[in-house]
């Protein structure tokens, strides 16, 4: 019979786990729990790395870990540091026995791996260690001398975009640390500013993860209702083991819901791959590009059972995720067939202590049949990055704003469907892929396209992990229907006729696709020259695009061959996202002409098939995609006519709509 095992800070691990004799540690309960059991953790603080020993047997016979109803449970990967000695004004020193760390000392572990970028090779690499003063993390510096006089930074520069950001808390940048690790002791020097660490709560991360099994295929586990914090997670590229603060570690059917997850050195939630399919070989071997090792990892995963029966199908919902250095949610291969919905993800990778090419609020590779639905993603260096094998992926009803960049889809063949989203940051869409459909979005910022022919990537049998082929990304084969495009920087307005085929293009609206054929028939005509060879006749011919019924504010420009493009008259046309406490509002200003334009309800069967994959836009069960809800979940009836953009009742004038 299913059992409840109770854990409490007043318990003892020699108890029986009953409500009257609770256990003291969650790990002791994990050692006892079997399929169908529920581990109920009562209020308080637990400092441990929970390592489940068993999984459930099915969706109905799970092992569930849950916070007791109405009780606040905190699980941390850190330990309290006491006994600080004052060195000079603001600077304090502590010595710690290395036995505290066991075999993993975060202050000795370098933050490194494939696609980490250290622009200055003369400075020492960052480490996985972290020091927290009253819950707020500090900054690592490169030398002991820098601890004495740390700069107070009010701005930081995004290394990728060159954009200057204001620092959320400039005083935090003056709280810095430096560590030296010896054979027996680790010494920390920390600049605490005006704070007295002996009168404050000072913690340092000790454990790699907080809730993460060490074994594979512990399936059907639910983790619900906890605050999970302070993990020394390593850099998690798609070519390495990808540990997170919490995650299933190559398993099936986890549910991670209603948690507050914060302060992972790199990744908060990992739905990623494991070590045997490659682990930072580009960095350690240096003999092949990371791209090649990533390609090999896909085939290696197939050999160890990467399929729907054994991996993926996770649910990540209603979590709040923030203050992680690399990603809020990361995954390669292990994320397939999963759903990520109703999460609040913010302030990811904004400390910018380290830099690399795997950073975003959500960063997924091989997001096969993954649904990313109704998430609020803001104040991230990049909101969501879908990289490689974005096939059967749905990005729907999300709220993106105040990010450096909102949505990036890279080197994928589709079909992927992006619908009913607010993309309110200055860089809204980066489509360095093909085979996408963008339907009823509000696009406030720039759109860029970029063919990437030097990195062919795999595509799959629909709704399967089986590889069907691989090909270069030539760009195009995209669909845009019913979107509302705004513009806020005249300098980036796209000049019709300026497109350079085969080059990256950036602008407001869809004119970046000028020069592409407007139909498959036109494309076939261009590749039907009988005097050219099989391969040569396709070279340098742009793929078709299917663009219709979009609305453009002044400064945004339509694709030259668009059907029924609507251009709003000169005048106010703007949108912004406003936070008021826990509520978020979308404020739009649109001219009267907006109400004259309506678009027929769009169905998956209205979207042209994807050429390379030879696949249609479908739900994970193979039925046609259903675009039946707007941003707020309001029904959109078949046969109805609706305004452009993500709201079914959006009108002209000044409108304020609560969207979260």
How much is the average pLDDT of 256-277? 98
Q: What proportion of the chain, given as a percentage, has pLDDT over 90?
A: 88
pLDDT the model gives residue 156: 66
Map residue 64 onto helix, strand or coil. strand
Q: Is the pLDDT of residue 360 over 90?
A: yes
Q: Is the pLDDT of residue 411 over 60?
A: yes
Q: What proportion of the chain, given as a percentage, has pLDDT over 70?
A: 95
Q: Who has greater pLDDT, 80 or 571?
A: 80
Q: Is the pLDDT of residue 304 over 70?
A: yes
Mean pLDDT of the chain: 94
For 340, what's the count of Cα atoms within 13 Å in the CB-facing half-sphere? 32
pLDDT the model gives residue 533: 85
How does pLDDT run across 579-635, given as a tens digit for each residue? 999 999 999 999 999 999 999 999 999 999 999 999 999 999 999 999 999 999 999
How much is the average pLDDT of 531-545? 89
What is the C-alpha separation between 92 and 575, in angstroms, rounded?
48
The 8-class DSSP code of residue 58 comes to B
Q: Is the pLDDT of residue 499 over 60?
A: no
pLDDT the model gives residue 152: 72
pLDDT the model gives residue 349: 94
How much is the average pLDDT of 644-658? 97
What is the C-alpha separation between 473 and 563, in angstroms, rounded?
25
Residue 525, H or E segment? helix 520-526
User: What confidence tier does 43 reach under pLDDT thresholds 50, 70, 90?
Assistant: very high
pLDDT the model gives residue 302: 97
For the entire predicted model, the pTM comes to 0.96
What is the C-alpha separation between 190 and 226, in angstroms, rounded?
30
pLDDT the model gives residue 365: 98
What does CATH list as the number for 4-71? 3.30.1910
How much is the average pLDDT of 135-161? 82
Domain spans, the chain: 4-71, 79-205, 221-515+546-572+595-644
What is the C-alpha separation between 176 and 146, in angstroms, rounded?
8
Q: Is the pLDDT of residue 386 over 90?
A: yes
Taking alpha carbons only, the member of 387, 315, 376, 374 closest to residue 347 is: 376
Identify the weakest region by mean pLDDT among 117-126, 276-285, 507-516.
Answer: 117-126
CATH top-level class for 221-515+546-572+595-644? Answer: mainly beta
CATH top-level class for 79-205? Answer: mainly beta
Long-range contacts (CB closer than 8 Å, 24 or more residues apart) made by 415-419 = 415/391, 415/607, 415/610, 415/613, 415/615, 415/616, 415/617, 415/618, 416/386, 416/390, 416/391, 416/392, 417/393, 417/604, 417/607, 417/617, 417/625, 417/627, 419/394, 419/395, 419/627
Q: Is the pLDDT of residue 308 over 60?
A: yes
Q: Is the pLDDT of residue 196 over 90?
A: yes
């Amino acid at each position: 019979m299913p059992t409840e095992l109770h854990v409490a800070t007043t318990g003892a691990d020699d108890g029986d786990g009953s409500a009257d004799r609770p256990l003291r540690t969650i790990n002791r309960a994990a050692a006892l729990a079997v399929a169908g059991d529920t581990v109920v953790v009562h209020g308080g603080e637990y400092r441990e790395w929970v390592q489940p020993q068993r999984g459930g047997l099915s969706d109905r016979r799970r092992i569930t870990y849950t916070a007791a109803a109405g009780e606040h449970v905190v699980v941390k990967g850190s330990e309290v540091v006491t006994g600080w000695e004052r060195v000079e004004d603001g600077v304090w020193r502590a010595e710690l026995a290395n036995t505290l760390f066991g075999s993993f000392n975060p202050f000795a572990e370098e933050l490194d791996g494939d696609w980490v970028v250290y622009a200055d090779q003369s400075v020492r690499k960052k480490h996985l260690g972290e020091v927290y003063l009253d819950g707020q993390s500090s900054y690592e510096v490169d030398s002991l001398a820098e601890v004495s006089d740390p700069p107070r930074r009010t701005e930081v520069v995004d290394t990728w975009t060159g954009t200057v950001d204001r620092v959320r808390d400039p005083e935090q940048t003056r709280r810095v640390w430096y560590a030296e690790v010896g054979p027996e002791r680790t010494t920390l020097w920390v600049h605490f500013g005006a704070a007295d660490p002996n009168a404050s709560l000072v913690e340092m991360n000790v454990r790699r993860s907080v809730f993460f099994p060490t074994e594979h295929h512990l399936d059907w586990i639910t983790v619900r209702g906890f605050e999970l914090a302070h993990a020394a997670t390593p850099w998690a590229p798609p070519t390495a083991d990808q540990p997170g603060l919490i995650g299933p570690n190559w398993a099936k059917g986890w549910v991670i819901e209603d948690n507050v997850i914060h302060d992972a050195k790199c990744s908060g939630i990992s739905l990623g791959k494991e070590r045997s399919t490659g682990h930072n070989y580009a960095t350690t071997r240096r003999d092949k590009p990371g791209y090649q090792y990533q390609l090999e990892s896909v085939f290696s995963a197939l050999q160890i059972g990467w399929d729907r029966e054994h991996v993926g199908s996770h649910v990540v919902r209603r979590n709040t995720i923030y203050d992680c250095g690399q990603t809020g949610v990361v995954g390669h291969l292990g994320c397939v067939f999963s759903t990520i919905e109703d999460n609040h993800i913010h302030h990811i990778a904004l400390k910018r202590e380290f830099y690399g090419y795997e950073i975003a609020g959500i960063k997924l590779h091989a997001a096969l049949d993954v649904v990313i639905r109704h998430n609020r993603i803001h104040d991230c260096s990049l909101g969501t990055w879908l990289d490689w094998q974005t096939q059967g992926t749905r990005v729907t009803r999300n709220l993106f704003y105040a990010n450096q960049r909102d949505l990036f889809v890279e080197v994928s063949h589709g079909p992927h469907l992006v619908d009913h989203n607010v993309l309110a940051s200055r860089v809204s869409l980066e489509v360095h892929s093909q085979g996408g459909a963008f339907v009823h979005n509000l696009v406030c910022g720039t759109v860029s396209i970029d063919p990437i022919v030097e990195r062919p990537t795999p595509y799959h049998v629909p709704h399967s992990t089986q590889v069907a082929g691989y090909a270069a990304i030539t760009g195009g084969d995209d669909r845009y229907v019913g979107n509302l495009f705004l513009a806020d920087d005249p300098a980036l307005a796209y000049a019709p006729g300026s497109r350079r085929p085969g080059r990256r293009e950036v602008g407001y609206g869809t004119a970046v696709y000028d020069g592409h054929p407007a139909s498959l028939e036109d494309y076939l005509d261009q590749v039907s020259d009988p005097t050219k060879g099989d391969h040569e006749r396709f070279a340098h011919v742009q793929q078709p695009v299917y663009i219709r019924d979009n609305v453009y504010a002044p400064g945004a420009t339509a694709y030259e061959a668009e059907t029924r493009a609507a251009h709003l008259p000169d005048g106010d046309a703007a949108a912004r996202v406003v936070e008021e406490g826990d509520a978020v509002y979308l404020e739009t200003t649109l001219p009267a002409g907006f109400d004259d334009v309506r678009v027929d309800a769009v169905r998956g069967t209205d979207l042209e098939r994807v050429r390379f994959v030879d696949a249609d836009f479908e739900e994970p069960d193979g039925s046609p995609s259903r675009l039946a809800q707007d941003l707020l979940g309001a029904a959109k009836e078949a046969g109805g006519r609706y305004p452009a953009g993500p709201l079914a009742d959006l009108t002209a004038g000044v409108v304020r709509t609560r969207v979260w």
